[in-house]
Every structure is written in C-alpha cells, then in structure tokens.
Amino acid sequence: MTLSRRLGLLTAAGAAVALGLGVAPAHAETVLLQESFTTAGPTSGLYNKNLSDNAVSQWFFGRPTASNATGGSGAYAVFDSEFLHVNHPGNGFSAALVTPRLAKPVGSAVTVSFKTRLDLTTGVGRDQSWVQFSVDGRKTWHTAWYKNLTEVSTSTVNLTLPAAATDANHVVLRWRSKSYNAGNWQVDDIVIKHA
C-alpha cells in the first residue's frame, strides 16, 4: 500500500472516530431575517401587534422630531409612548414588532443582533422592553432580553437564543414594549441567523 493510500485510510479512520465521538460537521450561518427599515415600514415581514386596550399603541418607522440614535443610520423603528400620550392621552401603551414564522433546521442555534437606543425614565415596572421568542405558533413567549429600570443607553445587542429555540424547527421573535407615557425605544439593523 502506498503512503498516500495509507494517509487516506488514516484520514478516513480519523473522521470515523471523530464522528463516533459526536463531532458534527460545522454548519454555515444562514440569515433568516434582516431588517434595516424604511420610512414606509419594514420590508422583511415584520409587523405591528397592539397589546393594549389603547387602539393607537404601535411602533413607528422614523419620526420627524428625532433622529436615529441607535448607532445605525436612516430609518428605524421606534415605540414612542411620549409621542402617543401627547397625541392620544391614555393610561399606557403596549405593542410588539413581530417577525413572521422563520423556518430552521432542528438543532441549529438562533442568534439575534440589533442596534438599540433605550430611553426608559419612569422607574421600575413602568417602562419595560423585551425581546421574546415563540416556538409554538405564538401561544407561549419566552424572554431572551429584558429591561425595566431607568436607563438611557445606546448599544448593539447580540443574543443566542436558549435551547428551546435550538431544538425547534421554526421560531418567531418579537420586540415588545410597554410604557406609561414617557419612555421610548428605538431599534434598527435587526439580523436573525441560524447555524
């Protein structure tokens, strides 16, 4: 047997041993959803969902009185309860920006990245922001990221969703905000991947 054939056998044997030990081939990352927003709204299938009794609760896409403060540029999504309260007085507002159902292979991890500007100013329990996911057709929501303290901050958030998302064959995400007349939350450059 030639050396090259011996090396081939060794390589094949090594691969067999590696697979026997549970070492799986690496998966390339695949983009499930990417959204940078336009002033007309999302282009990726994201949609508004009103979660309050107030009929006007919603996310807006750009706002004439404020620029993009997320670290991104151009249009953005904003849940602006101060604006809502001034124009539609009420007892509070709640809405979510929801993705469509995103199909993925079982066993592939889901990562989420987005730019954000938080302006939560009314204290514990009053202004709240969540990133949540569902793997059962939006019946149950699991929280992956949560803010509820007085905070003014700009950041890029990078998340890896927990095992419940990895083990599913699809995922739905939402950016949920609840506020009592003062806070606002800007979001831009959302990227959701699986690998």
Instruction: Output DSSP code: residue 132.
Output: E
- Across 12-38, b (16+ Cβ under 10 Å) vs e yields eeeeeeeeeeeeeeeeeeeebbebbbe
The one-letter code for the residue type at 101 is: R
Q: Which conformational region is residue 154 in: left (phi greater than 0), alpha (psi within -120 to 50 degrees), or beta?
A: beta
For residue 12, is pLDDT > 80? no
Name the more confident of 49 and 4. 49
Model pTM score: 0.82
Average pLDDT of every residue of the chain: 83
Q: Given the structure tokens 């690998």, which residue do they identify?
A: 195
Q: What is the pLDDT of residue 5?
A: 38
Parallel/antiparallel/unpaired status of strands 151-160 and 93-98: unpaired
Spell out the alpha helix ranges (H) of the chain. 3-20, 81-87, 163-166
Name the more confident of 21 and 94. 94
Strand partners, 78: 60, 186
**Which tens digits make up the pLDDT trace of 147-158?**
987 888 999 999
Nearest partner of 142 among 185, 176, 189, 106, judged by Cα: 176
**Which tens digits make up the pLDDT trace of 54-110?**
778 889 997 655 789 999 999 999 998 877 777 777 667 899 999 999 999 999 999
Cβ–Cβ under 8 Å, residues 100 and 117: no
**Which tens digits make up the pLDDT trace of 104-147?**
999 999 999 999 999 887 655 578 899 999 999 999 999 999 99
Cβ–Cβ under 8 Å, residues 61 and 77: yes
**Which tens digits make up the pLDDT trace of 25-42?**
556 899 999 999 988 889
Cβ–Cβ under 8 Å, residues 72 and 155: no
The SS3 of residue 110 is strand
